[in-house]
Structure 1
Amino acid sequence: MTPSADLIQWDKRHCWHPFTQAQTAPDPIPMASARGATLTSVDGRTFIDLNASWWVTTHGHAHPAIAAAIAQQAQTLEQVIFAGFTHAPAVNLATRLSETLGGDLDRVFFSDDGSTAVEVALKMAAQYHINQGTPRHRFVAFRGGYHGDTVGAMSMGQGSGFFDAFQAMLFHVDLLDYPATWLGDPTPELREALVLSQLDDYLATHGPQCGALLMEPLVQGAAGMRMARAGFVQQVMERCRAAGVLVILDEVMTGFGRTGTLFAFQQCGDYPDIICLSKGLTAGFMPMSVTVVREPIYQAFMGEGFERALAHGHSFTANPLGCVAALASLELFEQEGSLARIGQIAALHQQRLEPLQKHAKAVRPRVCGSIGAIDLRVADGGYGAEIGPKLKAFFIEKGLLMRPLGNTVYLLPPYCVSDAQLHQGWDAIEEALDTLL
């Protein structure tokens, strides 16, 4: 029995994979190593990672600078409780993030992944209003938004359609439409105006009871890389601020360069009250997230009694290994000119998508930073589209890690990807359009 077959056997015996129907899914591919934008399997096959390994890998796999920072830290302090203790990696990272985010986003709460970053934000928003003596118990979000898999995050993302089995567990959330747009869209202003009118009506009726609005700025990821214009996001934030509704931006996916700027909100002319970051935070090396808040929100938790404190925490809060990985990653953005490279990636996406705007089997081509996406014209669109598994298998056969979202195909690569590797991805998409549909 080969090592690969051995791994598959024991995997199928003991492992439970995410977002997978094990009864019908093909065998998982055992991986052995990775470098840059290339993954290598146990049996020697190579795959170009055009999915950034579920949107987490920024500078490339096994980047030596980040690996070295983690190795050095592991020999001195690998973990310590963060309640009553602190350490230089956490302090340095919190300081660096605050300086980089700007405004008065000065207070950093560490946790483990994107779902918990959102969960923390919701609890902060709710308790903030309670501590102010003006409880607000309503929340509002956008249809299609996906914010994670914990109960609070699922509640805010129930408009995504992923969580029907858990409906009885979820709390009520008010939902607004989302004005998705694309290259060549003739009427984005009309859809934006309709949604902003919905928001105005909502705030006029429920504003005093609404604690916070949550949204993914510029791109709804899991909904199929649905994109909105920066001006729309800015107007949403301005309206909420005028109504005393906190704005929580879920930048778990859009943060750390994905949309062309280090953070998506930097294109939108305003600051959120709370921002959630994960995925690219540690460049894909370590599980870590942060929820960062404006100073006045933090100050609302100050008091003589514990009842005003945020009663929330995680065993691995501010893990030193994750902190040094994040610090090394932030350094690489400057040293390697990552944002300039993302601009080049966006231009290549635009170049390859332009002819597809007239393709009979493709609709809604769109680009935002390192993300290029297009929808295949099929009868059953959405995450459960029949074409999805066929596309995934097709790309794997081509040596490409591309994980379609139903009938949406997209490229979201690590920033070290070469132009040739990107062209391979787009060539495969064009071939799929001509052979699978």
Structure 2
Amino acid sequence: MSDTSKLRTPNSKLNLAERDKKVIWHPYTQMKNALPHIPIVRGEGVYVFDENGKKYIDAVSSWWVNIHGHAHPYIAQKVAEQLNVLEHVIFAGFTHEPAVLLAERLLPILPGKQDKVFYTDNGSTAVEVALKMCLQYWDNKGKPKTRILAFKNAYHGDTFGAMSVSGRSIFTDAFNSLLFDVDFIDLPNEDNISDLVAHISTLTNTACFIFEPLILGSGGMLMYEAKYLDELIVACRKAGILIIADEVMTGFGRTGTYFACEKLVNKPDIICLSKGLTGGTMPLGVTTCTDEIFEAFLSEDKLKTLYHGHSFTANPIACVASLASLDILLQEETLANIKRVETKHAVFLQEIKAHAKVKAVRQTGTIIAIEWETGNETSYLSNLRNLLYAYFLDKGIILRPLGNIIYILPPYVISNADLDYIYGAIKQALEEI
């Protein structure tokens, strides 16, 4: 019989933030001097509410996942229905309708010709699978390649493979000696594209090129043009290098089209998806690939199997949430909202771009980023970060700065009035901070 005497019971004398401090280790947080974490008790649309009833505009979509607003009734209804049918089943040797239907609906709307879906749990694991697919693809074909090409300042996740193909930064510093070597190149532009193409033409042992299309998220919301990425992809094709598009952040409308790679002439071999996939409801990752890649794993030789999986692979509830999110995404109203947010951002960009404290401002689709002038190099560890974060929280806005870079990446249902309120708060901050 288990000993239940050690089970914790909540201390009724402490509030939720105090209880949190006793038992929780939060992500990306130096717990030594962390401010009390704000207890959120419910969400509705673009808002979340704390235990005192204060309302916050979720201007970063809760780490970029919430595309339709919090507690969306349609998604909630579909999830509730599925809970009474099948909550989970092992996905090795079994299948189920939500997983098959999601793949059937997702593949046709992806850029290029994606043919197969491999389910995982989150963005990092979607990337891990993509890397393993490429490396084993060449090994299975008897032409092993061991190098990977990626962008400097990229961010692809926090697992070891994902960290290895991410730019070396504070996120990877403690682990750099343990990460595998990667060939990093600069973001392409008019001045360096010829040199980058020439460099790629010399690569002979490179299995794949992985990139965040058009926007490097955690690297500072760095943006670059599709036409130069197209040139890199063409060069990679000539060099026999497979193409991985990490659309974990950019997918499902963030860049103004359903997927960033729609803006490319040359399409990827593999696409990684997560974040907005379930509408922000729960974790799910997807790695899709072409039949050419899939067929390299078909063999009588068991060693050519892709030996990868997760306990909650293709969780039926997460698949149903994704199907519901797709229903909403593909509505004309949602695309109109995406265009509306994009247009509003463009106007705001023009209003602030000449401000003395604006070092740079850039926009792609529903994402706008403002780089604050500090007199120093842009840095994730900029002291300005905490000042900005607290300033906007006080005004009821969740903006989580990347050092001295703030960005707005809202749910598509955000109103013009709320966008104007955020813009106004930023203009005020530019004068006061």
* Partners of 1:4 and 1:43 within 8 A in 2: no
Per the alignment, residue 289 of structure 1 pairs with 285
- TM-score, scaled to structure 2: 0.95
SS of residue paired to 1:158: coil
SS of residue paired to 2:210: strand
Q: Percent identity?
A: 47
Task: Give, in whole Å, the separation in 2 of the partners of 1:201 and 1:171.
Answer: 24
Task: Give, in whole Å, the separation in 1 of the partners of 2:13 and 2:92.
Answer: 43
Task: Give, in whole Å, the separation in 1 of the partners of 2:345 and 2:418.
Answer: 12
Per the alignment, residue 127 of structure 1 pairs with 136
Task: Give, in whole Å, the separation in 1 of the partners of 2:167 and 2:178.
Answer: 11
Which one has a larger percent helix, Structure 1 or Structure 2? 1
2:304 is the alignment partner of 1:308: yes
* Partners of 1:40 and 1:47 within 8 A in 2: yes
SS of residue paired to 2:148: strand
Q: 2:341 aligns with which of 329, 340, 345?
A: 345
Q: CA deviation at 1:22?
A: 1.1
Task: Give, in whole Å, the separation in 1 of the partners of 2:265 and 2:62.
Answer: 31
Per the alignment, residue 268 of structure 1 pairs with 264
Per the alignment, residue 430 of structure 2 pairs with 433
SS of residue paired to 1:342: helix
**Counterpart code for 2:115:** D
Task: Give, in whole Å, the separation in 2 of the partners of 1:254 and 1:46.
Answer: 27
Task: Give, in whole Å, the separation in 1 of the partners of 2:42 and 2:14.
Answer: 17
Q: 2:356 aligns with which of 353, 360, 382?
A: 360
Stretches of structure 2 lacking an aligned partner (at least 5 in a row): 1-9
SS of residue paired to 2:286: strand
Q: 1:335 to 1:420 in 2, by over 3 A?
A: same
SS of residue paired to 2:168: helix
Task: Give, in whole Å, the separation in 2 of the partners of 1:139 and 1:197.
Answer: 20
Pairing of 1:94-105 with structure 2 (within 5 A): 94-105=103-114
Q: CA deviation at 1:128?
A: 0.2
Q: 1:291 to 1:4 in 2, by over 3 A?
A: farther
**Counterpart code for 1:433:** L
Per the alignment, residue 369 of structure 1 pairs with 365
Per the alignment, residue 118 of structure 2 pairs with 109
Q: 1:164 aligns with which of 168, 173, 186?
A: 173
Q: 1:198 to 1:17 in 2, by over 3 A?
A: farther
* Partners of 1:144 and 1:161 within 8 A in 2: no
Task: Give, in whole Å, the separation in 1 of the partners of 2:326 and 2:13.
Answer: 36
- TM-score, scaled to structure 1: 0.94
2:31 is the alignment partner of 1:31: no
* Partners of 2:116 and 2:290 within 8 A in 1: yes
* Partners of 1:145 and 1:160 within 8 A in 2: no
**Counterpart code for 1:388:** R
Pairing of 1:16-415 with structure 2 (within 5 A): 16-179=25-188, 189-190=190-191, 194=192, 196-206=193-203, 208-335=204-331, 337-380=333-376, 381-415=378-412
**Counterpart code for 1:117:** A
Task: Give, in whole Å, the separation in 1 of the partners of 2:336 and 2:148.
Answer: 37
Stretches of structure 1 lacking an aligned partner (at least 5 in a row): 180-187
SS of residue paired to 2:276: helix
SS of residue paired to 2:243: strand
Q: CA deviation at 1:161?
A: 4.3
Q: CA deviation at 1:431?
A: 1.1
